[in-house]
Each structure stands twice: as structure tokens, then as C-alpha cells.
Amino acid sequence: MDNSFASSITADLSNAFFYCPEDGVPSIQIGKPVAGDIIFWLKYNDEDVNKCASRLIKELGRELGVSNIQSANEILLKFCSYAFNIIDADFLSLTSLDEPVSTIFSQQHCNNLSALFVDYIDSQKALKPYVYTIRYANTDGVHKLNNNLCIYGSGQIESLLGDMKVRTGINFPLEALDDEDLRREPIGRYKLLSDSSAVLVYARSINEAVEELDRLFGALCATIDTPLRINQETVDCRINSFDSKSITTRQIRSNLPSVYEINLSDEVAGNLQKIFSSPPKRMNSALSFIAHGWTHDKRERFLNQFIALDALYGTDRSNKASIVGGVSRDASDIVGIESKIKTIYELRSKFVHGEISIFSNHGKYSKFVDEHGIDPIESLFEVVRVCAINYRGVYKVEQPDTVNLRVPKELVREFEKKISEYCRT
């Protein structure tokens, strides 16, 4: 990290925090009761902190695994809560809402704050283990999908903890999971429930871990048998993260529905490994949309699955030809694939442009069923599943040797004359 960036952003943060009156919001707590610290709060200007968060994303977002303002904001607020407690400034002398904490900082305070920021951000770049438990997932053994993503079948808790220790040095004792409170945690439930599997993700942030889980859910939707056998049970949307001292539980947004059974057969595991071996950006994007479309809602499913195809094959130029060509190439085993994807493309266009509100209201819908014997929404799902497994990259549309030019009527004769003169030279 550039030291000038650390100095600049900590200076801006110092101008964003103020004396906190009673019930002042938004604010952060400084000091920890268990450490015997003096506890107090500082009010902050959320717009100024958000501006700093935006700078953090631009400068270090990729290294930190952070891409949204909320996650970057959280990093900065945690840093300030930690650093302001260390630099030994006289915060209790603050009495005015108009004077930021920078007014009580000496040059040494500023230098220390900058150095602490460098160390703190470096600590955030390290990959951390996150564990998510999936119910009704039947599989044996351990399936390593890539270096940072692994699925553990029933009864593999010792393997999971052992792998985590080797990778990170975190030695989480197996017997600790017998604690009554930890038994309710995702990793504790995985140990107790024989019909569960666990996903171990190594990521630099909760945001990055959730994104990787989302891609996994999309890949599961595209590979397991009967993924649409969805029930109404509540999905546990909690995830555990680990460090050298503790286990933390966070609530996340999960696009995994409650499925009656997720059968991770050898064939499914092989397809997952194929998808995750070295996925391009387009595949990662498509998998996320497939996950968002894993639902009983047909409209939601159709739109997200078509966006997934657009993510795989779409281009700014010749978009329809690129999608039709790519799908026809990668899903060539599907009977009538070119005709199917052309009609599906047209139905999608009419739907998103407001020409129809219900797919079955358009004549092309019934014509599709008459010709192919399948609902186009179900057909699209079949296409997406095949393309996710057989993806061979963007389809290159052959461009014609000629182009059509739009010329104002009053200039046509002059234009033709110039073309003739050019051809004679």
C-alpha cells in the first residue's frame, strides 16, 4: 500500500468523527469493557465515511475482496474503533459537535494512525475460513472444487478442522463443538446432523465468501438432479468465520432454497470441479444469476436464467447472434436447439420491453409448445444447465464484408459520386 494513501485516508477519517452527545447517531464505540478500557462513543458523518469507503474500494478493493460501500464502510469503522483506542489522544476533551477529532491530534498521533492503518489493512488481506452448512445434502468424502472452495460430506468434521489447521494455523478443538451454544452454530449443526454437508470457503471478507457461495449455489442448481423440488422449510442463512481466538456467526443473504435433496453424486462432483477449475469472469457472473433464479417463481427464474446466458455469450454488438450462436454450439445435443433459443430470445425481448406481461399470452409461446412439446421456461432451464457444463467461451459472430451507411437524402448523389471517384482511383 502507498503510504501517502494511508496518510491521506486517515486524515479524512479524522475529519469525519466528532464528539458524541447522548443518543448521537451514527456513532462507534471506542474501548472494550473486558480490557478495562474507558468506554466512550464518537459520532461520525456517514457521507464522509462513505466517501472514504469509495476511495478504499478504488485503491484496495480487489486486494481486500471488497466491492460494495457497505463492506468497505464496515472495515473503516472497525479500524477507527480499534485505532482511536490505541493512539492515546485526549478524546474526552472533545465537547463540540463542530470540531472533528483531528483538532486534538498531534503530528505523532497522525503518523501513528497512518501506520496502524497500514498494519490493519494488511491483516484484512489474509484469507480467512468461512463455514456454511447445507441440509439434505447427500455425499461422502471431501470434494475440493478449487484451492479456496471445498465441500465436506457427512461425518467429515475432523477432516474439515484438520484442513483448516494446516491451511491457516487455526486449531479449533473438535470437543469444543459439544458446547451447548456451539451445537446451534452452523458448524455444530454440521457435526450433529448426518444429512448435512459443509462448505469451507477461504475468502478475504464476508462479502467475498458470500459471492463464492452464490456461485456454488448456481453451479449446484445447474448440476444436481431435480433442483426444483423445493419445499417451504426455512433455510439457515448463517455462516461461521474463524480466527485464532474465536468463532463468529454472521447472517447472510443466501440464494440457496430449501431443496428436498441435494444428491452430490460422483457425476455431479465431477461437473462442479469442471466448472470451478478455472472459471472465467463470465462464468462467475452467470452462476450468480442462476443462483438468483433458483426459485419456484417462473418469471424470476426465466429472467435470471436468460441473463445468465447473456453473461456467458452476450456482446454489445450482435447480441442476439452471439447468444444464439454460443448456445447452439455448446448445447448442440439438445434437439432443435437453434430454433428453441431464437424463440426464447424473442419472448424475453417482448417481456422485458413491456409487450407482454405473461409469457403464455403470446402466440410464440403456444407455437413453441406445439413444435417442441415443452414449456419454453422449462426449456430455457435445460439450456442453461447444459451451457454451464459445456461452456467454451464467447461465440465470435462473423461480420459481413459490407456495411450499410445511413446518408441524408440530399447528399445521396454527392455521396455516390465520391464513391465512384474513389473506386476509379
- How does residue 2 score in pLDDT terms, banded at 50, 70 and 90? confident
The pTM of the full predicted model, rounded to 2 decimals, is 0.83
Please compute the mean of the pLDDT values over residues 23-48 and round it to a whole number: 89
- For residue 108, pLDDT over 90 is answered with yes
- How does residue 400 score in pLDDT terms, banded at 50, 70 and 90? low
- For residue 310, pLDDT over 90 is answered with yes
Instruction: Report strand pairing: 137-138 vs 262-263.
Output: parallel
Using omega within 30 degrees of 0 as the cis cutoff, is the peptide bond preceding 186 cis?
no
Q: What is the DSSP string of 333-390?
A: TSTTHHHHHHHHHHHHHHHHTTS-SSGGGSHHHHHHHHHHSS-HHHHHHHHHHHHHHH
Residues above pLDDT 90, as percent of the chain: 76
**SS3 at position 143:** strand
Q: DSSP label at 18?
A: E
pLDDT of residue 402: 64
- For residue 403, pLDDT over 70 is answered with no
- For residue 425, pLDDT over 70 is answered with no
Burial (CB count within 10 angstroms: exposed 0-12, middle 13-18, buried 19+), residue 95: exposed
- How does residue 341 score in pLDDT terms, banded at 50, 70 and 90? very high
**CA angle, residues 72, 145, 185, in degrees to nearest 5:** 60
Per-residue pLDDT of 68-85, as tens digits, reads: 999 999 999 999 999 999
**CA angle, residues 416, 417, 418, in degrees to nearest 5:** 90
Per-residue pLDDT of 260-305, as tens digits, reads: 999 999 999 999 999 999 899 999 999 999 999 999 899 899 999 9
Is the separation of the CB atoms in 291 and 218 below 8 Å?
Answer: yes
- For residue 357, pLDDT over 90 is answered with no
pLDDT of residue 142: 96
237-241, 305-309, 350-354, 355-359: which has the minimum mean pLDDT? 355-359
Q: DSSP label at 268?
A: H
Residue recorded with cell 472452495:
149
pLDDT of residue 216: 98
Residue recorded with cell 445521396:
412
225-239, 244-258, 317-331, 393-407: which has the minimum mean pLDDT? 393-407
pLDDT of residue 363: 87
R_g of the chain, CA atoms, integer Å:
28
Say which amino acid occupies 324.
V
- For residue 401, pLDDT over 70 is answered with no
Residue 138: which residues within 8 A CB-CB, separation 6 or more? 153, 154, 195, 197, 261, 262, 263, 264
- If one compares 354 and 220, the residue with the highest pLDDT of the two is 220
pLDDT of residue 360: 82
